[in-house]
Every structure is written in C-alpha cells, then in structure tokens.
Amino acid sequence: MDDYMFTAHVNQTKVVSEATSFLEIFNYADPAKNTIEEHPLEALEFENFLNRRGAFEPPKKHDSKLLSGIRLVLQKNAKHPETFSPHHISLEQREYASMVRTLRLPFRAIEGSSVVGPLFWASYDHDANDPHLRKTLPLNPILLFYASFKATIQAVQAHLADTRSSEIIHRKSDVRKKGKTRGWELMLSHSFNTNITTGYVKGTPSSDINDAIEHLKSCAAQVAHPFLLPVIILSHDLSSRSDQKQREARAWLRRLENAVTMRNEIDEKEGYMDFDLDAINRDLVECHSQVLWRRPQAYQEIIKEVHTGMDKYWQMTDHNRPDITALHDSLVSRLEFYRIKLTGMEHYVHTTLERLNIQRQALYNIIAQKESKLNLEMAAQQRRLAHASKRDSTAMKTLSLLGALFLPGTFLASLFSMSFFDFNVGPEFPGMDPDDYSGKGAQVSEYLWLYFVVTIPLTLAIVGAWWYLDHRRQKMYAAEDIDIEEGIGRMETEIMAVMRKKTMSKATTWNSGTSPAIQLVKKADG
C-alpha cells in the first residue's frame, strides 16, 4: 500500500528546478582518515551518488574500520517561488522516487507536502537484516515543528526488540509571503547496521539550513547519532533571535502603555509624538502578532516528542561506545535546557499578552469616551442650530418692521386725502366748471403739517418699541446660550466621570511613584 500511495503522489507533483549538491562525512577508527566532502551534484551523477558507484564508490580496501557517516542530497539555496508549494518537488519525478527508494527514506514524506500545520510521525520498519531509523523534517523559520508520535508506534514497539529497526517522519509546511514560499525540508534515514545516516535537505536562503549544515560539518565526528542534525536545527531555531523578538515586543508594549495611559516611565523620544488612535491601534495588533511569533508551546511539544524519539532510539542502540553515550546525554541535556528556557519564555509571553489585552481595553474605553464627547458636541451643535433657527425666524419680523414704517403714513395719507388736498379748484380760473378744470391750479391745505406732526412721532414710537423688545430678546437669548453651554458641560462631566470610573478599573492613568489608592486617600484628606 505504501508503495502505491507513494507512486501516486509523486506522479501528481509538479517539478521545479533547484541547484543540487551533496555532502558526505565518514568517520573511521583512525581519525586521520575521516573525510568531509561537499560538491555540486550533476544530474548525470545523481544515480551514481545514490548507489555509491563510480566516483562515489567506497574504498574496497581500507586499513581503518568505518565507524559512522552521513550522506545527504542538498538543495541549500532553493529560490523558485513554488519550491515549497503543495505538490511540488525540486527533483525530477524519477530522480525523486529513486532517491527515496535507494536511500530508504520514508514513503509517507511526499504526502506531507501540503500539510496545514506541523507534523511529526514515527514508526519502525521490520527489516532485521538492515534496520533503519527514518525521519523527515520539513521546517521553516516562522514556526517550529509541532511533534506528535502516531499511536501506531506503541503497537510496533513490541517488535523492536527482535527487528531492531525504526522509522521517523517529521514535517512542517509553510505559507506564502510576498508571493514566495519559504522554509526548509529534511528527510533522514539511519541504518543501525552500518551506522550511516542518509537523507535529503532543502531550504531557502532565508532559512537556517546553511548555518545548520556548517554546524554539522563542525560536528562531523559526532554524526553517528541520527538526532544530531535535528537538534542542531532546533538549536538554530531556538537561538537568541526568539528572545530578542520578545524583548522588542515588550519594549514596544511599554511605548504603547505610555501612549494609552499617559505614563512617563520611558524616555520621551521613545514615546508617541501625539495620540494617534489609528497608529496606536495598528501597533497593538502588530505587537500582538510579534508576541505570538514562534509560540513557546509549539517548541515545548517538539522538545517533548524529540526527547521521546531519542529515548526510543536509545533503546534500540548498543551502548558500547562511550563517545555516543556522552553525545546522547549531551543532546538530552540540551533538550532539557531548551525546555526550561521555553518555560520561562512562556510566562514572559503570557504576561505580555495580558498587558496587551489591558491596553486594548483601555484604548477601547478611550475611543468610547471620544465618541461620547463627539456625540455631545454634535448634540450641542444641534441645539445651537435649533436656537439659531429660532432667532433667524425673527428676520421675518424685519419685514413686519418695514411694513410698520410705511403703514402709519399710508393710513394717514388715505385719511388726509379726503380734505387736505384740492386738485380741482384754483384762484386763476374762478367760476370755471370743475369738470373742465382737469386739476389746473390745485391747492394744498394749510393743515398739511398735521400729517408730519402725527406720522413722524408715531413711526418713531413704533420703531423704538420694536428695538426695545428686540434688545430685551437678545439679552434673553444670551442668558439661554450660557445656560445651554453650562448644561452641555455638566452633561459631559457626568458622562466622562462614569466612563473614567469604568476605565480606571482596567488600567490606571496615574504616574508611578505612589499607588492610585494612596493618591486618592491624600486627596480625600486634603
């Protein structure tokens, strides 16, 4: 079944080209004969390398016994944008299948190319003639592998005492960033009979693969332990960069706290120039994502399962070599050190996340306060507009005033027109028939002055009365405006006091030095 599934998955993959090289490290009883070789691997020599033919053929006669070794197919600088995409391989399908079969790498590794999230799987084969420990570790620099042994390993464990063989798969898929996939991939297979580890390694330039391979060369004398390379990669992934990320996130958090709660515990140059809600909110989200970068819990699970795998490997190994025993104890001790280190980091991250939540809640309260103040301002403006509209309605009274200016004169003119003016009788034409006069020689009555005497005082009296009433009304409006503003201020003060009380229950805005409770007591005593 495994063979069929492997063939089917390989046939479904797409091929992308990457530069390929090889690494061979062999250790002999005579350390002077130890070899380390890394060279480009041409396509024509690929099968020769797998089968150790031609230039890769082991020495037929050697006066020193081979103790251990490692043989890897390397693609350290994978640059194709799809090199880590699901269902993509960077070797020709025939070459890939031949590599897995010849180097006895686990068939199931190809099925993890599109896994969402980390994967760790281990089992043991049953070839008593040439038992192998197999493992596959595709990883990336963003998240470390998450480990979980299959339950089937327990069922197989009963047969290990007789067959002395084991098999491990360890994989972590990655996501795309800026249009490219990132990460690295590792498959290993360890032979208990020859004590040689074979495998396939691929990684992008941004990964730790190059550093891990150089580290492996420096530890060439210790390649007899199959978990050496996985622990080296784990060491690079748990380097000080993770600690530095958390320290930077904590420093970022302190700047956010200074901006949100108005504290003065950090340098002014480290704070925000102004209270920009959008910028602070974005920084809160970004800081949260930085804190969650490579969460310690995932690493702790990896360490736990790698430790378990090493114990199972150690049960299958002869303990006759003191150097291997010392190396195994050193690797176990290193894993324990990382476990304790990650435990402390987990507490640190938990505290940072709690403080971020507090600042987020305080920021939400501040936003709510600002929204309330905005609503209050809008309500005040609407109230002012209502009163302004009421006042503007008095403009219509101006028209009434204009009418009042002309109405007395019009009324009196109509009244006096009956007898004050005589347009039909004149002294130049005595005895003329009035129908033939046609207005010639019209006379103005000597009582015309009465029109002005009555009209002018009456008009002044009306205008004066209007001005007095309008001036009195303006004073009343001014008093109403003062009352409106005082009412708005009282309403805003009451609402802000309630909201501030709720805010203070989540985050204090007092300067450090004395606790808020002590300050409140001092104020009360004062």
pLDDT of residue 217: 94
Distance CA 477, CA 52 (A): 103
Domain end among 235, 265, 300 = 235
Per residue in 170-226, pLDDT (tens digit) is 666 566 666 677 778 888 888 888 889 999 998 888 788 899 999 999 999 999 988
Q: Is 122 left (phi over 0), alpha (psi -120 to 50) or beta?
A: beta
Cα of 203 vs its chain's centroid, Å: 26
Contact 223, 25 (CB under 8 A): yes
Residues 339 and 462 in one domain: no
* Cβ-contact 484, 369 below 8 angstroms: no
Q: Which of 6-15, 155-164, 374-383 has the lowest mean pLDDT?
A: 155-164
Same structural domain for residues 398 and 381? no
Shared domain for 115 and 210, answered yes or no, is: yes
Burial (CB < 10 A; 0-12, 13-18, 19+), residue 503, is buried
Residue after which a domain boundary falls, among 235, 261, 276 = 235
Q: Are residues 349 and 478 in the same domain?
A: no
Q: Which of 214, 235, 256 is the last residue of a domain?
A: 235
Give the pLDDT confidence score for residue 35 in this predicted structure: 92
Domain around 412? 394-510
Q: What is the CA angle 480-481-482, rounded to 5?
A: 90
Q: How far apart are alpha carbons 230 and 70 in whole angstroms?
A: 13
* pTM of full prediction above 0.75: no
The answer to whether the beta carbons of residues 127 and 191 sit under 8 Å apart is no
* pLDDT value for 164: 42
Query: Which range, of 23-37, 303-317, 439-453, averages the lowest pLDDT?
Result: 439-453
Q: Is the same domain home to 244 and 229? A: no
How many structural domains compose the chain?
A: 3
Q: Return the SS3 of 228.
A: helix
Query: Nearest to residue 377, comparing CAs of 365, 387, 385?
Result: 385
Within a domain: 524: no
Residue 321 maps to a domain:
yes
More confident: 239 or 145:
239
In a domain, 520, yes or no: no
Token pair for residue 140? 């990336």
Instruction: Indicate if 208 and 83 belong to the same structural domain.
Output: yes
In a domain, 517, yes or no: no
Q: What is the pLDDT of residues 398-455, one digit of tens each?
A: 777 778 778 877 877 776 675 656 655 555 555 555 555 555 556 667 777 777 788 8
Q: Please name which of 208, 207, 213 lies closest in space to residue 229, comparing C-alpha atoms.
A: 213
pLDDT value, residue 510: 35
